[in-house]
Structures are given as C-alpha cells and as structure tokens.
Amino acid sequence: MFPGVTAGYTYEDCSATADWLLAQTAVRPLVGIVCGSGLGGLADMLKDQVAFNYKDIPNFPQSTVHGHAGRLVFGMLKGRPCVCMQGRFHLYEGYPVQKVTLPMRVFKLLGVETVILTNAAGGLNQDYKVGDIMIMKDHLNMPGFAGNNPLVGPNDERFGVRFPCMSDAYDRELQQLAADLGQELGYRDFLREGVYCVLGGPSFETIAECRMLSKLGADAVGMSTVHEVIVARHCGMRVFGLSLITNLSVMDYDSAEKANHEEVLQTGKQRAEQLERLVSTMVTKIEHNNNFA
C-alpha cells in the first residue's frame, strides 16, 4: 500500500455499495446532486423518494456537520431520475480524501452521467455580495499543492486514466445553460461566474490568506467540492458547480466583521429557494444521453 492511501476504497468496495443501493430502489439516476451547507432542500424536491441514512449504507462515511442531514435520497426531479446527497464529507472531519470522494465513484457505478455540486462559500471578489450565486468555471486546489489529491496512490483504469485532464473540469455547455436559465428566471442581479478555491478548514481564513487567494485569482473560498470534482471527472462524468456566497471574506485589518457558520446557514435559507429553482430547471434540460432538451 502506498503512503497516505487508506485501504478499503477499491473498485470492488464501490461496486458493493452501488449494488446494495440499486437493490433497494427502482430509481436509476442519471443526475447526481450534492447539497452544500443549508442547501439540503434540493433533495426535498424529489418525488417518490427513497432515502437512506449514510450510517446504513455499506462503506459510506457519516456527515458530522450541522446543516448537513446525512442522507442519500433517490427520486424523480421534474420527471428526471436523480440521486441527491443531503450533506457531504470534508477533510476537516478527519476523513482521508479518498473517503470524502467515495460517493462520486458510487454515483458513477449507479449510472450517473452528470454531477451537480453546490456549496456555501466566502466571497473574495470585491464585487460580490452576500447571497450571490456563483457558477464555478474553475478551481484552485490548495490541498492538492501539498499532495492531498484524491487520485494519489495506485490508479484503477476501470475508473479512469492515471493523469486526467482538469482544464475542462467544469462543463462549459452546462455553465452556459445555467447562465441562460438565470437570465430567464430573473437572476441577473445576483448570478456570477468565478473561480473557487478549496482550503482544508475547519478554521476560516485569516485576512492575509484572503488577500493572497484574491491575488491568485480566486473569487470565492470554501472547504469542499474540488476533491469531488476531480474524482467525478476522473470517472468521466460531466460536472457543474454552484457556490452560494454566504459571507464576505474579511480583507481589511480595521474590519470588525467575523465569519461564522450560523451566517452561512442563514444565507443558505434565504437564497436556497432560488438556487433550487435554477438546479431543478437545469435538470429538466439535460437529456439522458447528455444532450440538451
């Protein structure tokens, strides 16, 4: 076993988890959705639900974060078969990055073709406001700079190639679809497009760190999503990401502002309905063969 690689997340393990889930539900999802902090309402939109607590799913980790329900929900979203994670896993919970990203490989083996990831993020871009929704066009993987990448270790070709491309990580057609739908839904004033930076957490960023990340080209910062994107792309799934800007990162030493998790959840509650409408409308526009309706 390679250093830093935890045993127990093999192709066979992922297959066993997928097979167990497929045996429990008739839904064959083509779209997988991951709900970030305070955004679990997306799963509640599914009709004919079959839900599983993470603790009951073989090989699955458990969500320990307030605001993450910890359920995998299968069902129909406006007539389209979907699976939805109500709550995700993070490095700061103590999970190895291979465990954090396990659900993406399970999604692939369930038959998912398109993954929609949402998160709550701090705004670094000075033009952003609390409540803005940012379409993710690219990312900065800071833990990856230090070698903490979910693809470290032996590569299994059944999932994907040894050196996957990431210059096309975020599907441009899906980004355009979201932008067009945002215009139709009247979201022009708060729909943005930008670069998301992931850090390890759980502490929020220092002022110096925020200034550095801004200079590096990051528009928003958070503690999730990027590892899932890497594994989803490695598996050949299309990826679309949305960040809800729940707080503005503190960039000024004279500021009395402080980031806190309650603010994140509160903003999620206020804007969640509009974000849900955007995602659910997108799902209806993605055909089963990944062409648009």
CB atoms within 10 A of CB 246: 30
In this structure, what DSSP letter does residue 19 have? H
**Which residues, in sequence order, are CB contacts of 212 under 8 Å at separation 6+?**
none
CA distance 192 to 188: 8
pLDDT band at 67 (very low <50, low <70, confident <90, very high): low
CA distance 105 to 11: 8
3-state secondary structure of 83: strand
CA distance 105 to 160: 10
67 phi-psi bin (left φ>0, alpha ψ -120 to 50, beta other): left
In this structure, what DSSP letter does residue 286 have? B
CA distance 286 to 293: 6
State pLDDT tens for residues 112-164. Answer: 999 999 999 999 999 999 999 999 999 999 999 999 999 999 999 999 999 99
CA distance 83 to 68: 16
Look at 151 and 256; give whichever has higher pLDDT: 151
CA distance 84 to 75: 8
Written as six digits, the tokens of 64 are 């320990």
Query: For 152-181, what is the mean pLDDT?
Result: 96
pLDDT of residue 260: 76
pTM for the whole thing? 0.92
Reported in sequence order, the residue ranges of the chain that DSSP labels E, i.e. its strands, are 31-35, 47-53, 71-77, 80-86, 114-123, 133-141, 191-198, 220-222, 238-248
CB atoms within 10 A of CB 46: 24
**Which residues, in sequence order, are CB contacts of 255 under 8 Å at separation 6+?**
none
pLDDT of residue 17: 97
Look at 185 and 268; give whichever has higher pLDDT: 185
Query: For 246-270, what is the mean pLDDT?
Result: 80
CA distance 284 to 293: 8
Query: For 27-32, what is the mean pLDDT?
Result: 97
Query: For 234-247, what is the mean pLDDT?
Result: 95
**Which residues, in sequence order, are CB contacts of 19 under 8 Å at separation 6+?**
none
SS (H, E, C) 210-233: HHHHHHCCCCEEECCCHHHHHHHH
How far apart are the two ends of the chain, measured CA to CA in Å? 46
Q: Which of 169, 175, 173 is nearest to 144 (CA)?
A: 169
| Longest distance between any two alpha carbons in the chain, whole Å | 57
Q: Which of 194, 175, 182 is nearest to 271 (CA)?
A: 182
Phi, psi of 156 (to 5 degrees): -100, 110
**In the chain, what are the domains?**
11-250+257-285 (3.40.50.1580)
Provide the sign of the torsion angle of the four alpha carbons 72, 74, 75, 76, taken in this order: positive
* Residues identified as active-site: 37, 68, 90, 92-93, 120, 223-224, 247, 261
